[in-house]
Amino acid sequence: MAWAVSIRIPRHTDPEVVNYKTYLGGIFQSTIPQPATGDPQYTYTMATDGDYVLTSTALDAAGNESPPSPALNIHLDHIAPSATGLMVFVSSVWS
């Protein structure tokens, strides 16, 4: 089972920003262009359950890269917990 996690990167207010880079666990994933309107979006694909750290950076036209965004920590787990014991209480009311 693979996971697809879509994120929205808050649009940078600096008019010099032209692209964003996305990172998964510090490893480069993709470059996303600054959209004309709205916030840039990216979908990460994670192959397994586990803990993931997502970050992004902003780039200007000269290729200067900002420091990373604050980390977005995600825990993915598709395994349901084991069943718990079931207690049944039956009462009767006689009149």
Closest CA to 5 of 24, 32, 19, 33: 24
pLDDT confidence bin for 37, thresholds 50/70/90: confident
Give tens-digit pLDDT for 46-56.
888 889 999 99
Q: Which two tokens stand for residue 38?
A: 């709205």
Question: Which of 1-5, 37-41, 79-83 ranks highest by mean pLDDT?
Answer: 37-41
Closest CA to 6 of 27, 22, 26: 22
Q: Which two tokens stand for residue 41?
A: 């979006």
